[in-house]
Chain A
Amino acid sequence: MGSGIKSCDVKDNQIFILLEKDTFPEVAFKIYKNYDATLDTLHASDEREFQDNFRIYALFSVKPDLFITIATNVDRINPSFRSLTPQIYSANWYEREIREMFGIEPVTHPDPRPLVLYDNWPVDFHPLRKDVEWNATVPSAKTEYPFKRVNGEGTLEIPVGPVHAGIIEPGHFRFSVAGEPIINLEIRLGYVHKGIEKLSETMPYQTGVFLAERISGDNSFSHVTAYCQAVEKIANVDVPGRAKYLRTVFLELERLYNLCRDIAGIALVTSYNVGAMHAYIMQEQIMQLNETLTGSRLLRGINSVGGVKIDISWGGINKIKELLILLKREMDDFVNLVSNLPSLLDRTQNTGILTKTVARDLNLVGPVARASGIDRDVRRDHPYAAYSDLTFKVVTQQRGDVQGRFNVKIGEIYESINIIEQALAKMPDTTIAVEVKEIPKGKIGFSLVEAPRGEAIHWIYSGEGRPFRHKIRDPSFCNWLAMEAAVIGGAGNIVPDFPLINKSMNLSYSGNDL
C-alpha cells in the first residue's frame, strides 16, 4: 500500500480505495491518465451521522470491465476539497453540483458558479445534506446568475427560453452573436429541479422503482433497469435468465423508438417533412407495440427489484418479429430517401462539429460520443442483462458533425433490430423474477445502463430499507456541455444551425435537472 491510501478493497471487477484528502486529486489524475479511464460520476455523501465526515466518491471505469472507486473524507467544518477540474475537465459540472447540493467547496475550481438549482435558491441552503428535511420549505432569495458577456461593437445577445415555442421542457440559452455567426453560447438549466435524489432517500426500494421510471420520460426503462440492477447488486441477487432477456428486449425497444424520433427530428429541422413523417410513423408503430405488449407506451410498470413483472407470450414474440421485419424495410426506404438528398446533406455536413479531443475531455456519452470517434458502449464494455450472450456492432463515425450523429443513430437502429431478433431466438424458459428478501444496510451498489442517449448511472449506498444516498447520472448531464462546444467550435455555426445541432443531440432537460 502506497502512502496516502487508507484502505483498499477488491471485489469481483470493482476496486474501492479510500484515500487521504491530499492525495485524492493526484490519484484521480493518475487513474484517468494511465489507464485511459472515464470519470463516470463524482459525488458527495453526507455521512456525518456515523463517521463524522462528508465523503466524496469518484467512480472510474476502465476497459475491459473494471471499475475503480476512489473516496476521501471531507471535514464537517468548512468542508472543502481540491478540485479535479484543472486536470480532469469532465469533473467540472459534478463539482459545481457538489458545491450547491452539499456546500462542499471545490477549491481552485475555475468556474464556481451555481449550476443545478434555480436562481431564487439561497446560497447557504444545501438540499442534499441530511439535516435538511425532504419536504422543507426553501426560503426565496434574490440572486442573479452571472452570465459570461461578450462586449464590443456589433455584438448582440440573444436570450432564448426558458419557455420555448414548441411544447418542450424549459432551458435558457444565451447566445452572443456578431451578425449571424455565434461567438458564445451559455446554457442555463435547473428550471425543473425536482429533488429526485432527496426524494429517493425517503422511499423504500419497492416504491423507488416507480420514482426511477419517472426520472426522464422517454428513458424510463433504462433508468429503472439501472436502479433495479444497483439494488440487486447490493442484495447480491442474480435475476433469472428470462428476466435478463426480457429486460434486453425492452431496453432495445426503448432505444428503437427514441432513435426513430431522433432521426425524424433531424429530418424535420432540415425541413424535409416527408422523411420525418416516415420516421415518426416507425416511432408510433413501436410505441403502439409497447402498449400492446405491456400496456404502457413508455414501458412503465414492468421492471422490479429481482426481475420483471410482465412476460411476453408466444403471440407477443411473433408480433415483435413481424414489426421488426417491417421496420427493417421501412428503414431501408428511409435511408434511401435521405442518403443522397442535397437539401439535407447541405445542412447536416460540417455543422456542429465535435472533435474527438473535445468528446474525450468532456466525457461525452452515447451516440454523440460515438459520432466523434469514441468507441465506447456500456453494452459491450461492461455488459449487463443479456448483452454478454449477444453479438452486435458498436457503430462509430469519425466526422463528429450532425451528419455523423445522424448516421450513428441510423446504424444503431439496425443494430437494435439485430439484438432484439437474437434475444427473442435465445430467450430461455425460466421464471421471470426472484423474491428479494433482504437488502443489507451500508453497502454500495451501482449500475451502468446504455440508455438511448448514452449511459445512465445509478449509484446507491444502502440504508434502512431504502437508499441512504442515491446518485443518479443521466447521460444528458454529460452531453449538455457538448452543445456549447458544438455551437461555438468548428466552422462558424450560425444561429439557424442551433436547432439542428440541438436536435442531433436531443438531450433531456428532465434527466439533467434531477
Chain B
Amino acid sequence: MFKILKLGRFKKGIITTKYPNEPYRPGENYKGMPVVDPAHCNKVGACAKVCPTGAINVTSTEVIIDIGSCIFCGACEKACPHNAIKLSQKFELSTKVKEHLKVAF
C-alpha cells in the first residue's frame, strides 16, 4: 500500500535551468560581489581593517576592491558604520584580464 506513496512515476518536471541562455537569480542571502554605495561611504576604512585577505583599499577619494582576493565572507558588510558596503547578487565575475578584477567605487 505504501508503494503508492513513493514518487516513482509521479516524478515529473524539469530540474535543470536554462543558464546562461536565461539569467540565474540567486537567493536573497546570496553573497556575491561586494558593492560600495559612494553616496553613503565616508571613507573611514572600517571595511579594509576587518577584511581577512586585505582585498579592500580605501583612499581619500575612492574604495578599491580586489575581487580576485575577496572571499565573500561578509565581514566588511558587518563592520561598516554607514551600511555603505553590501555583498550584492552579482556572481558573473570572470574576466580575461587580471587588472579588471580591481574595481573602484
Interface residues of A (CB under 8 A from B): 206-207, 210, 214, 281, 284, 291-296, 300-301, 309-310, 329-330, 332-333, 336
Contact of A333 with B11 in the complex, beta carbons under 8 Å: yes
**Which residue of chain A lies nearest to B10 when distances are taken between CB atoms in the complex?**
A329
The residue that B31 contacts in the complex, of A207, A210, A296, A329, with Cβ under 8 A, is: A296
Q: Which 4 A-B pairs have the closest CB atoms?
A: A295-B29, A295-B31, A292-B27, A207-B52
Contact of B11 with A295 in the complex, beta carbons under 8 Å: no
Contact of A301 with B72 in the complex, beta carbons under 8 Å: yes
Residues from chain A with Cβ under 8 Å of B30 in the complex: 291, 295
Contact of B73 with A210 in the complex, beta carbons under 8 Å: yes
Interface residues of B (CB under 8 A from A): 5-8, 11, 15, 26-27, 29-31, 52-53, 71-74, 78, 87
Residues from chain A with Cβ under 8 Å of B87 in the complex: 295
For the A-B complex, the count of residue pairs with Cβ-Cβ distances under 8 Å equals: 46
Residues from chain A with Cβ under 8 Å of B5 in the complex: 329
**Which secondary structure characterizes the binding site on chain B?**
loop
Contact of A329 with B7 in the complex, beta carbons under 8 Å: yes
**Which residue of chain B lies nearest to A316 when distances are taken between CB atoms in the complex?**
B29
Q: From known contacts A207-B52, A333-B8, A336-B6, infer whether A301 and B29 are also in contact, taking CB-CB under 8 Å.
A: no
Query: Given the complex of chains A and B, what is the CA–CA distance between A273 and B5 in angstroms?
Result: 25
Give A217 Cβ to nearest chain B Cβ, in Å.
13
Contact of B8 with A301 in the complex, beta carbons under 8 Å: no
What are 27 A-to-B residue pairs whose CB atoms are below 8 Å?
A: A206-B52, A210-B53, A210-B71, A214-B71, A281-B15, A291-B27, A291-B29, A291-B30, A292-B29, A293-B29, A294-B29, A295-B31, A295-B74, A296-B72, A300-B73, A301-B31, A301-B72, A301-B73, A301-B74, A309-B74, A310-B29, A329-B5, A329-B7, A330-B7, A332-B6, A333-B7, A333-B8
Among B7, B11, B15, B27, which residue has the most Cβ atoms of chain A within 10 A?
A: B27
Query: Given the complex of chains A and B, what is the CA–CA distance between A333 and B53 in angstroms?
Result: 45
Give A77 Cβ to nearest chain B Cβ, in Å.
39
Residues from chain B with Cβ under 8 Å of A292 in the complex: 27, 29
Give A196 Cβ to nearest chain B Cβ, in Å.
15
Residues from chain A with Cβ under 8 Å of B11 in the complex: 333
**Which residue of chain B lies nearest to A281 when distances are taken between CB atoms in the complex?**
B15
Q: From known contacts A207-B52, A295-B27, infer whether A329 and B73 are also in contact, taking CB-CB under 8 Å.
A: no
Query: Given the complex of chains A and B, what is the CA–CA distance between A167 and B72 in angstroms?
Result: 24
Give A154 Cβ to nearest chain B Cβ, in Å.
49
Query: Given the complex of chains A and B, what is the CA–CA distance between A294 and B31 in angstroms?
Result: 8
Question: Known contacts A210-B52, A291-B27, A309-B78; can you find 14 more A-B pairs with CB under 8 A?
Answer: A210-B73, A291-B26, A292-B27, A293-B29, A294-B29, A295-B27, A295-B74, A296-B31, A296-B72, A300-B71, A301-B31, A330-B7, A332-B6, A333-B7
**Which residue of chain A lies nearest to B27 when distances are taken between CB atoms in the complex?**
A292
Query: Given the complex of chains A and B, what is the CA–CA distance between A292 and B31 in angstroms?
Result: 10
Give A327 Cβ to nearest chain B Cβ, in Å.
11
Query: Given the complex of chains A and B, what is the CA–CA distance between A229 and B49 in angstroms?
Result: 25
Give A417 Cβ to nearest chain B Cβ, in Å.
15
Q: From known contacts A210-B71, A295-B27, A300-B73, infer whether A333 and B52 are also in contact, taking CB-CB under 8 Å.
A: no
**Which residue of chain B lies nearest to A336 when distances are taken between CB atoms in the complex?**
B6
Among A210, A214, A295, A332, which residue has the most Cβ atoms of chain B within 10 A?
A: A295
